[in-house]
A and B are shown apart, each in its own frame.
Chain A
């Protein structure tokens, strides 16, 4: 019955696996395997990186579940939550892109350890925060992957999950960031293609003038355009702040900065990707969501809200286009999932194993550990996702908030404030992380608003402790000065800068 859709999906999956094989071959034949595996050789151009960033951010949550979430939570809440990540990329391009790219590091932990004097506490605490936060995030994306594969193949959710999980674990373990980048490129292109196609179809099928259509829909669903009817205003602000700050520290997004050819390209690709993402999301919110009102109530109730976009698409298209759309949505899910899996495996293999446990491990051994860890984590998270926790969406937004509360102040103040020191960073990570967990689990606060308490506390701790303890050494400040300088941006290596100074 779904032969056409399944054939298109199989072609897409085979393409992803082939890219994984090609990436592995390229990595094993190069002299800088670690750089290639974790940072795609640092030579991804602006356009390619923009597509890859778009794919890494645009997940099942935003594309597949987008219209359903807008319908249930209202345009005001969803527009501020979505614009949080868009603003977040613009902020990241100003606050962290240049120093991170110029540092020539591979992971967030490596950069923070470098900034905070090689502190062992930072080396251990940061990967633990990343593994906890990204692991929960990964679980929610795997669930979306299981749902879409089940929709396309007609198999159960469990089998759908196992199939899609094995595919991306395979190509991430083989080709690392290089495979993730090139598959994300294909995935980003597919996501643009299907969203624009859906947008065109929604314009062609408009039942009345667009303005009247929106007005009628907001009358039909009074929550759609009204402020505070689904989530309190504090929740809007919390969601905005969480995503606006998350981009600066979320490893699977920050890793895209490390893959750029230079800092300027990193900044440009962060903003170009968000311009495309913004246009696509505006289309989904204002042109496609109103069609939910045209679907029968019984049909909506018999399907999860995450699947409502596909119901709208089915009313526009036949099997071939539905196959391409399903592949595009699968791409959206896979592109975030593979980046997250790589971020977690690098936190374990590169930061904890090579950074703490076996500092003398050579490139081959580190990459071997990375492959084993990728399979181990991928399979463990897959098994957990077979029976996901009931409130997964709440937990995953909480997971991102936890990472922000713990890491944002030590990252941003570490880059810009010369007083920021290791004592301040460690206490701010502890205070931010713990106060977030207490707010989340103990107090009954509005959805997403925990960050409004934990983030200021983390900043305050960082500033107070750093101010009253010893200033960082001149060597560290000199190094940071170099990361901010245009010399480093022009590609002059740290070594050569040191020689000159």
Chain B
């Protein structure tokens, strides 16, 4: 019944979230954000600040959605 010989399975949504964070960070660390300023503060800083809220909110939603999916699967299984 072994599905993958090399890796333990990660929920797809979690994997997308991980990749999303990496891409978000890479995007803001590219030089285009350094000189653009909003209220005198560079866009790189605003990118970091936005993530203060985005990362935990997405984490909460994913946990709730995964729990809901698992509950539904469990009910179906019964």
With an 8 A cutoff between CB atoms, is A286 at the interface? yes
Q: Decide: A278 near B8, CB < 8 A? Known: A76-B42, A76-B44, A91-B18.
A: no
Whether B8 and A480, one on each chain, are in contact in the complex, defined by CB atoms closer than 8 angstroms, is yes
A481 within 8 A of B: yes
- The one of A236, A240, A282 that contacts B49, using a Cβ cutoff of 8 Å: A282
Q: How far is the CA of A486 from the CA of B52 in the complex (A)?
A: 30
Give A84-110 as 1s and 0s: 1 = Cβ < 8 Å from B's Cβ atoms: 001101110110000000000000000
Question: Nearest chain-B residue to A233 (Cβ)?
Answer: B29
| B18-46, CB < 8 A from A | 18, 21, 25, 29, 33-35, 37, 39-42, 44-45
Instruction: State how many angstroms separate the Cβ of A277 from the closest Cβ of chain B.
Output: 8
| Smallest beta-carbon distance A27→chain B, Å | 30
Given A90-B58, A267-B63, A417-B7: A75 and B45 interface contact (C-beta under 8 Å):
yes
Expressed in whole angstroms, the Cα–Cα distance for A419 and B35 within the complex equals 45
Bound CA–CA A271/B59 (angstroms): 6
Q: Check: A26 CB closer than 8 A to any chain B CB.
A: no
Q: Is the CB of B41 within 8 A of A218?
A: yes
Contacts of A267 in B (CB 8 A): 59, 63
In angstroms, Cα B55 to Cα A281, docked, is 14
The residue of chain A having its C-beta at the shortest distance from the C-beta of B61 within the complex is A271
Query: Once the chains bind, are B52 and A237 in contact (CB under 8 Å)?
Result: no
Q: How far is the CA of A89 from the CA of B57 in the complex (A)?
A: 12
Task: Count residues of B near A (Cβ-Cβ below 8 Å).
Answer: 40
Contact of A453 with B by CB under 8 A: no
Q: Which residues of A contact B5 (CB under 8 A)?
A: 418
Question: Which residues of chain B have C-beta atoms less than 8 A from A416's C-beta?
Answer: 7-8, 10
Q: Assess whether A227 is in contact with B6, with CB atoms less than 8 Å apart.
A: no
Measured CB to CB, the closest approach of chain B to A228, in angstroms, equals 7
**Pair A237/B29 contact, Cβ less than 8 Å:** yes
Closest to B70 in A: A486
| Contact present for A275 and B60 (CB under 8 Å) | yes
Once bound together, how far apart are the Cα atoms of A418 and B42, in whole Å? 43
Q: Are B52 and A83 in contact (CB under 8 A)?
A: yes
A279 and B29 contact, Cβ closer than 8 Å, known pairs A75-B45, A225-B45, A228-B34:
no
Which B-chain residue is minimally distant from A417 (CB atoms)? B7
A82 at the B interface (CB under 8 A): yes
Check A94 against B14 for contact (C-beta < 8 Å).
yes
**Once the chains are docked, how many angstroms separate the CA of A278 from the CA of B18?**
19
B60-A282 in contact (CB<8A): no
Q: Once the chains bind, are B45 and A264 in contact (CB under 8 Å)?
A: no
- Does A79 sit at the interface, judged by CB under 8 A? yes
By the criterion CB–CB under 8 Å, are B40 and A218 in contact? yes
Add 12 more A-B contacts to A87-B21, A219-B40 (CB < 8 A): A83-B49, A90-B55, A93-B59, A94-B14, A218-B39, A227-B42, A272-B60, A275-B57, A275-B60, A279-B53, A417-B7, A419-B6
Show 26 A/B contacts (Cβ-Cβ < 8 Å), sorted by A. Answer: A75-B49, A83-B55, A87-B55, A90-B56, A94-B18, A214-B41, A225-B37, A227-B35, A237-B29, A240-B25, A271-B56, A271-B57, A274-B55, A275-B53, A275-B60, A279-B52, A282-B49, A286-B49, A417-B6, A417-B7, A418-B5, A418-B6, A418-B8, A484-B8, A484-B9, A486-B74
Q: Which residues of B are at the interface with A, using a C-beta cutoff of 8 A?
A: 4-10, 14, 17-18, 21, 25, 29, 33-35, 37, 39-42, 44-45, 48-49, 51-53, 55-60, 62-64, 67, 70, 74
